[in-house]
Amino acid sequence: MSMITATTWVPRGFAAPFPSRYVFDDDEYDRISKLAKLQLDDAKEDLEEAQSEKKDKAGGSSKAASKAADTEDIDDDLKEYDLEHYDDDDEEGQDGASGATMAMFGNVKSLVFHENNEDDPYITMQEQEEDDDEREELQILATDNLVLAGRIEDEVAHLEVYVYEDEADNLYVHHDIMLPAIPLCVEWLDVPVGKSKTTDDARGSTVAIGTMDPDIELWNLDVVDSMYPDAILGQGAEDGANGEKPQKKKKKKSKKANEDFHVDAVLSLSANRHHRNLLASSSADKTIKLWDLNTAKCAKSYSYHTDKVCSVAWHPQESTVLLSGSYDRTVVAADMRAPDAKPPRWGVESDVETVRWDPHDPNYFYISTENGVIHYHDARMAPKDPSGSKPVWILQAHDQSISSFDINPIIPGFLVTGSTDKQTKLWNIQSSGPSMVVSRDLGVGKVFSTTFAPDKEVGFRLAVAGSKGAVQIWDTSTNAAVRSAFANKVPDIKTGGKERVVGLAESDTDSDSEEGEDEEEAENGGEGWESMEE
């Protein structure tokens, strides 16, 4: 089983043109060895505790004795072969030769040894040529975008780093990163952290990953084949993961919510684009944490909700205001500088899935819910009680849960929703309300992630992924209904060409046969919406 659980884009120009390979020096070897020993000691301790708690069953000792006897018999049978000393040097080798000439290599004298690789006819590739080829394979052009995708496959979790070449309509995996647990959220950071950090104003390309484990891992995207994250936010950092000296004995993982680290799955991450050293996270432990990336420590913890906090988003302009949504069916917009103040709170009809500010008018924000509903609120019109919340409009976008949605950062009023009903829908948000433009099953299964590209040059590109483990890049500008809806908002919009849906090992998709269906849906105006303005 394979699925993509989360995706995000990296803007053009941030990735290193030639990512470097991980250098495994003596210091790093020593650090990894100590960390591995700590993990092994913990595993042994857990095993001993489990064995001590379990009582010996009747007959258990006799079975153990029988097994030991069988082992002794096997050992007796193998003694004649003396396998324990099979690779020891003989005092006298075969054919009277001195040194260790094992019987199976009795003709070793007939082998030719070449002191210089150039003289060996079997070695034809030069080291310099290998280095050049590797550099060319790893090269990332200034016109390329990276797409980061969290994947779980056969119980193995990893982050895949894709390169998207827009001109060639090509998407391929550049490298991947092994993860300790199922990835739930992925956030890109424009700052270096941990070992790669230099100065406060330094520019970098880092990914923060939240998983079913409570720790948040930070990896440098400009280094491939890394063995360990550059930094860890959480209790795992106490084991020396951030370059500090590991403890002699790892503390037992805490299960009680606290001020210093998460103790349950990390469900959402949001980077602060104004205060670049700040990262917000929310967790199933019902708390929100604010992390200082300079120190890799928790700066502040907040408890605004009474259930799992599934989504957080920083305000685009008010750099200290954080929007958060929870399974307690409320959304809070809180100023992080005033943790003791009572923040405004809005209520919805079911569990919150995702919250987003409107990037084109930050006075408004969106909420998606488990019931397939989108709420659009005016942040200036906070209710006295969450039950009295009055959205500007509500939209029944899907019959099932809206697992993901995004607002196009380049094109005003361009909204995408993805659902567990396998449908990806594009919406045109106008002053009169939302209307559906296109509904499409892109073949990714249940849709878990929908994200627009961040750059103007690829503003109409949309990454969609889901339960079938496929990442698709949809060039929505080549769809006739999209061109009709947004041509007046983007003067230089494309005006022709076949519809492009680019995926791994897939060619462009000609959807002319579906155009009529799309246009009919657009005329119907979607599943229905209701204005709440008075």
Q: What pLDDT digit, counting tens, does each position of 122-160 carry?
A: 555 444 454 666 667 789 999 999 999 999 998 899 999
Residue 103: pLDDT over 60: no
Residue 226 half-sphere exposure toward CB, CA atoms < 13 A: 23
Considering the chain, what percentage of its residues have pLDDT values greater than 90?
Answer: 58
Residue 402: pLDDT over 60: yes
Residue 525: pLDDT over 50: no
Residue 115: pLDDT over 80: no
Please tell me the predicted confidence (pLDDT) of residue 50: 81
Residue 426: pLDDT over 90: yes
Residue 98: pLDDT over 80: no
Q: pLDDT band at 64, cuts 50/70/90?
A: low
Which CATH architecture best describes the domain 2-14+150-225+259-531? 7 Propeller (2.130)
pTM listed for this prediction: 0.77
Q: pLDDT band at 113, cuts 50/70/90?
A: very low
Nearest to 2 by CA among 508, 507, 504, 506: 504
Please tell me the predicted confidence (pLDDT) of residue 509: 39
Please tell me the predicted confidence (pLDDT) of residue 84: 55
* DSSP secondary structure code for residue 92 in this structure: B
Please give the average per-residue pLDDT across 480-504, as a whole number. 76
Nearest to 406 by CA among 447, 378, 443, 347: 447
50-59, 324-333, 453-462: the lowest-pLDDT one = 50-59
Please tell me the predicted confidence (pLDDT) of residue 325: 98
139-153, 283-297, 369-383, 512-526: the lowest-pLDDT one = 512-526
Residue 40: pLDDT over 90: no
Please give the average per-residue pLDDT across 290-300, as a whole number. 95
More confident residue, 522 or 264: 264
Please give the average per-residue pLDDT across 207-218, as a whole number. 97
User: How many degrees, rounded to 5, is the angle at CA 465 between CA 459 and CA 466?
Assistant: 155
> β-pairing, 223-224 with 20-21?
parallel
Residue 398: pLDDT over 80: yes
Residue 371: pLDDT over 60: yes
Please tell me the predicted confidence (pLDDT) of residue 493: 58
Tell me, letter by letter, the H, E, C secondary structure of 5-24: EEEEEECCCCCCCCCEECCC
Nearest to 369 by CA among 412, 420, 429: 420
Q: pLDDT band at 32, cuts 50/70/90?
A: confident
Q: Residue ranges of the domains in the chain?
A: 2-14+150-225+259-531
Please give the average per-residue pLDDT across 299-309, as a whole number. 96
Burial of 209 (0-12, 13-18, 19+ CB in 10 A): buried
Mean pLDDT of the residues in the chain: 81
Question: 133 phi and psi, to 5 degrees?
Answer: -65, -40
Please tell me the predicted confidence (pLDDT) of residue 519: 41
Characterize 261-298 residue by residue with b for buried, 16 or more Cβ atoms within 10 angstroms of its Cβ, and e for exposed.
Answer: bbbbbbbbbbbbeeebbbbbbbbbbbbbbbbebeebeb
Task: Spell out where 288-401 has E strands.
Answer: 288-292, 297-302, 309-314, 321-326, 330-335, 345-347, 352-357, 364-369, 373-378, 393-396
Q: pLDDT band at 285, cuts 50/70/90?
A: very high
Instruction: Report CA 158 to chain centroid distance, whole Å.
Output: 8
